[in-house]
Structure formats: C-alpha cells, structure tokens
Structure 1
Amino acid sequence: DEFKSRFIDEYQTGKLPRQIFEENGFNADIIGIKRIEQSAHRWKKAYEKNGLIGLKDSRKMSSGRPMKRELTAAEIIERQKARIELLEGQVNLLKKLEATERRLLNSNENLTPNKAYQLIQETIEQNGFKGMTKYFCGLLDVSRSGYYSYLKASSVREAREKLDLEAKGIILKAFNKRGYKKGSRSIKMILENEFNIVFSRKKIQRIMRKYGIVCPHRKPNPYKKIAKATMEHQVVSNKLNREFKQGIPGKVLLTDITYLPYNGKCMAYLSTVKDASTNEILAYHVSDRITLDIATKTIHKLMNNKKVKLHKDAFIHSDQGSHYTSPSYQKLLKKNGLGQSMSRRGNCWDNAPQESFFGHLKDDVDYKSATSLKELRSKIKHYMVYYNNYRYQWNLKKMTPIQYRNHLLAA
C-alpha cells in the first residue's frame, strides 16, 4: 500500500511507470513491462475513483468480492478526508518543486559543474526530495554520473578545503602585515622574503577569490590642472621621454603634487620626489596650502637629505603645473645643479610612476580619518618608511626600493 501511494505521487510528477518501479528496487525484466503497465492503469483508476483508500489491498479486509452495500456516511467522510490530505500533500510538493525549479534555473547562469552538483545536493537534502536526481541534473544540464562522482569525492573535497583554509591563514598574515592591504604579487614576495614560504601567484589568487580577500583598486581621477601658467612661466621640453628605468640611482627624479582630503572638509597637499630607477621616495612635504612653497620646500628637503646621492646629470621631471613653470622654482633647480624636464600638456602617462605611487598611497593610507594635519603627517611619514624599506615590488626584482638601490650601486 505504501508503494502504491508513492507510485501515484511520483507518477503525477511526470515519471514513467517503469522508471518508478526500478527506482524503488523492482526488477522490470522479472516483473514484465506488461504487468507494470496493467498495475499502473489499475492503481490510477482506483485512485481516481476512491482516492487513497482505493489503493488499499481489499484482500486484507474482505474476500475480494466487490462491496455491494452502500457506503455509510462515516466511511464516505473518511475517504474524502484521505483524498483531501493526499491532494494537499501533492499541492505542497508541486509548490516546493516549482520554487526549487525557479531557484535552480535562476542560479544556472555561469554555473560550474561543481557548483551545480552542490546546488542539487543542497536542494535534495533541504526539501527531502526522492528520485529527483535525474530531473534536477537535466534542469541544470549536468550528467547524473558526474553528480554521483561528486558525492563520492566529498572526503577529497573536505581535505582540500582544510588545506585551503590553512593557506588562507598564511596569506592573511602577509595581506595584513604592517597594516596595509596588498595584492597577490606583494603577498608572494612577503611570503618568500619574510616567512620563507613559496606559493605560486595562481594559488594566492585562487585563495583570495575563494574567500573574498580583496585588494582595494584605485579609482581613476580626472587630470586636474592646478593653475593656468602665466606668460612669464616657461615650459621646458620633455627630456625624459618615458625612459624611467635607466638603472642609475639619483639620476631621473620624478615629482608631483596630490591632494589629501581629511577630517571632513579639510584639505592637505602632498609633494614628493621619487627616484624613477629605484622607486624610492627621496623627499616629500605635506602642507595645508598649495602655494609655490610646497614645491620649493620639497627641493630643499631633497638637497638636505644626506642619505641621497644625486648623479651629476640628475634632473627633475614634472608636469606643466604652475609650480614647476614658475621662474622661482626653475631658478632653484639651476642653483642646485638640477636639470628640468616636463611632460607633454595634459599627458599623465609621461609621469606614470609618480601617479602610480600616489594611487598606491591613497589605497593604503586611511588619510580621510585623520582629525588634524599633525595626525595626517604622522600617517604619511609611517607609510613612507614602510614604502621605502618594507614594500616589495615586482618590477624591482622582488626587492624593496632601498634594497634595489643598494643592488644597483653594488652592480
């Protein structure tokens, strides 16, 4: 009787009689397809006539002869109750199935086979569906054999997940080291240099994608002109021509100014001088005013820095901002024996390494949370020490700027 009831439920979901028999452990070849079809016809007819009670084996209660007497009112009510319960159960099953179908189909976009198998497994376990594997696999266009292989490989997946969690912990240590977020390249270099651990970049990227470890990406800002150059301001030619990596420390010096909003409505400005060959920041100045002093004070700090040894042919490369076209600034450079070069008008790529540094600084330093100019200067100072001494860079043979400078000088 239990199988008959299950047969009717599954038959109404669209399964064939032979499929239902075989999924419930019957051998169709022994029983015979004819007997299966006859049984299906007989049970369907009995169910349509008397509901769930019509499926019960009458031989348990009578001699098998058809009942000639009229049914009592209690018997009719009992049969109708049973029929209603069965219909309600079928409606709930169909509602569940419809919701499940929608969930599966909505999740089917760009779904990998493993994700599809996981979705099928979760759906079957959560809703208690039986015999729906083939239907769900067809719905998501994956193979049944692949699904069963996925179930058998659960122990392998658990072991792999355990290893991935261990790798995640190691990667997070490098990711959060010294308080600045990093990408896969920086993480790889830190693991090799400071933890003596070798992970491939692909593994690091896979773990970061899997567990949502995101390195912040710089948002492009429109090129902003600081001020219009007056007639007395003079633009010089582009002496650099994007030949940044000349392998000579202290020769090609890049400079620029960026803005740093903090404490809501306050604004500060940062001027830096960067060695294009080693990426080292040689001098910087933070001010709350964007007057000419911010550029000239940066040059004074550069010349007073005893750790910096400039090349005899050293020159400063900048954009065509009013600070760098100023006669006072150009006179200061000549006084200190520095040449000058300028990017083409409105072309930030001619000073790309300097722009890149500002982008990394704004990604890594939480300058907006500073409540005073003093606190902001402290944050910038801390980052400059980190950048020059501890931030490994892929294009510097996986060294820090100072390590690479010493490497070039030794060579």
Structure 2
Amino acid sequence: MSKKTFTTGEVVQLATNPYVKSVSTKGITYTDEFKQFFITLNQQGRMPREIFETCGFDVQIIGMTRVKAAADRWRASYNEQGALGLQDTRGKHSGESLKRELTLAEKNAKLEAQIHLLQAENELLKKIRLAERGWNTSKTNPSLRYRLIRTVIEKYHLQRMVSVLCETAEVSKSGYYRYWSTSAIHRRTKKEQVDEEIGVYIRRAFQFKKRNKGARSIKMTLQGQFQIMWNLKRIRRIMKKYDIVCPHRRANPYKRMMKATHEHRTMPNLLQRNFKQGIPGKILLTDITYISYGQGKRAYLSTIKDSSTNEILAYHVSERMTMDLATNTLLHLQKNRKFKKSHDAFIHSDQGTHYTHPDFQKKVKRMGLGQSMSRRGNCWDNAPQESFFGHFKDETSLKSYATLDEVKREVKAYMTYYNHYRYQWNLKRMTPVQYRDHLPEAI
C-alpha cells in the first residue's frame, strides 16, 4: 500500500470527483460504479493510468503505486467473484443493505471540520509564539497554553480534539483537565482576589506624595507608611501583572558624547584644500549624504572620490545611517580593480562619527592609506565632494521612485554616467575616466 498522504487541498479536490465515495488524508474509497467501469475498459485493452485520467483523476496526486494496487485488487476480485466482488462490503452484516453513502453536504461538513482543525493548530502555535516572546523558555508558563487551547476549541467549535491540541502545544492532557477543574478554578479565583487587594496597596505606595517609585522604594514605603512587610519578589510580580511601571533614569547624552570623544580620534588636515595634485589615486575624498525618495522615504549615499580626476571610485547606498555605511564603502574600494593606490595616498573626510570611529580608522590603516580630516564645521575643506553631491541631486529624479531597489539602480546608472560620459570643463573637457588615463599613472 502506498504511504503517500494527501494534503487538505488534495482531499478537497478528490472529494469533488463523482467516482469517489469517501476520501481522507490516508486513502480513497471509490464507488462500485467506477470499479465496474474500470474492469470494462481494462478488458478492452485500456491501461489503468488512462482509465483514471479519463474519469477525471489526477494521477500525480493519487500516485501510480496506489493506482496499480487498486487495479490488481479489482481484477483479482472480479476474477474470483465476478461483479459481486467489486461491491464495497465493509461494515456490512449478512442480509443487510449496503451502507448509505455520505451525501455531499456530509462530505463538506467532514472536510470543513478537518480544515478547522488545521487552522486551530496553526493559530495555537502562532499565539504561543507571540504570547511567550518575553519568556525564557516555552515550559515556564504551561497555564498560558491551557488557556489558548480552550480559546481555540471555543472559537472553532471543536469536539474531542483536546488530545490533538495538547500534543501540538506540547502539554499533557491530564494537566489541561486538571487546570480547568472546579477546584483549580476556585483556587485561581481566590488568588486573583488576593492579588487585587495587594495591588491596591502597591498603587498607593507607588503614588505616595505624587512621586512614582520603583520596587525597592515601594517596599520601604509600604513598611514605613502602611506597616506592611512584603518581599520584593511579590511586589515585582504584582507590578508586572498590573503594568505598574516605575520610572528609571536615562543615561546623560552629553556624558555619552564625552565618552565617545575619548574613543573616537580626529586626524590632522593633511590636504589643506590642495585638491588638484595631478596624481590619480593619491587624494581620496569621502562623505555621506541623504537621498529623499518616494513618499517621505530617505536613504543614505556614501562615496569615495578621487580628488585629482573627480572619478567616483566606490559608493554604497543604505536605508540606515550605521557604521557599516562607511566601512562598506571602503570594501567596495578594495574590490575596485581599476583603482591603483598612489604613494602616500590618504583619505580625507569631515569629523563625523563614522570617520572618527576606531573600526573605520583601523580599516583605513589596514588598506595602507593615511587619513586626513577637515576642520570642524568647515565644509570648504571637502568642497569637491560636496560639489558632487550637489550635481548628483540636481541631475537625478529620485522622488519618483517608490522602493530602495529602484533608488540603487538609479544611483548605479548615474555613477556610470558621471565617470564615463559626463564631460567636465575643469578636466580639459574630458570625462573623469578619460582624464585619469590622460594623467601620469600613480607611482
């Protein structure tokens, strides 16, 4: 017998065939009419697969193993007992009529119950994942799973499905019935009343003198003002249960900035606005700008530009302004085979946190580059890079794009245009790539 099982969709499809008496995920029961029709056509030389397909069956769904087994079984029964051997006698006593076939409405009701069970299992697992997202393990709160099982059973009107759902939720059936026993419900109700009484006092202590407090302050206030001694675990449990949130001090942003200053290092201005030195691959300018697109969306573009040739050597687009934005641009520079580093080459930027970060500076050092920075708040020290961003925004129309992928494609197309086809007056009317080839190679 074939071990192939049917999905819910396949069961529904097979049940619509008039030659099917009943169908489940494990097997099919065909009508006596179809068996007799099969034997007649088979004796005429028709193959089993052809007969099944003629009667509207999808052999790929049923499986050839099941088709061949049915054909052999029906031929043997017909040879032994004739037409009587093709009749379905399961569940029939001697002298009784054939068992009544299920009506179409009954078949639909059975399939609907199976679909509801699958929906219930999926919904139960989904609710468990959402509800236990804040718990350490799935075993810490079995009562939560018992409540979810009861909710699913009531929603889909399931009967005799407790075992299946308990197995799905990985809890015991005895524990489920014990949780919903009368005595357990009475104990939980009594505990709930006690928690509500405790919650009243905790709220009073929490709001005492109109100054909100944490668990420790609440404990001391209860002891000093109400002469009540409760431990911190109980207080914290009640606060969490009734969503009594205590205020907490946030870190001082200015102190954080001062701390970052110790970790982040600025570099001297080696460039001194001497942008055109006539040596490709020596002075690399880098900066980051934002790109507005779509309906109020924003992306960020990081570029590295050769100051002598105006060629964009590397770029990176991201929807977030993280440290990876700058370091990924360096990785793209490394992958650029046409980039030839000159002697004493260095990269110049402003004093943004991306470029003062230790990770960026280590990456620059490993690439064998020096590092230079503009003076604080002086955009003229990196003027060619700022000029490129101005031309880029004037010559592109990014607001018409709705997705980040479209923006990336437009940026890529513009970079190709800028390097290879955009002629510049100050480059002897050449494109950046032409001007690079015109200059002496890097030493």
Name the TM tier (shorter chain).
0.3 to 0.5
Q: TM-score, normalised by structure 2?
A: 0.41
Higher relative contact order (CA 8 A, sep 6+): 1
Q: TM-score, normalised by structure 1?
A: 0.44
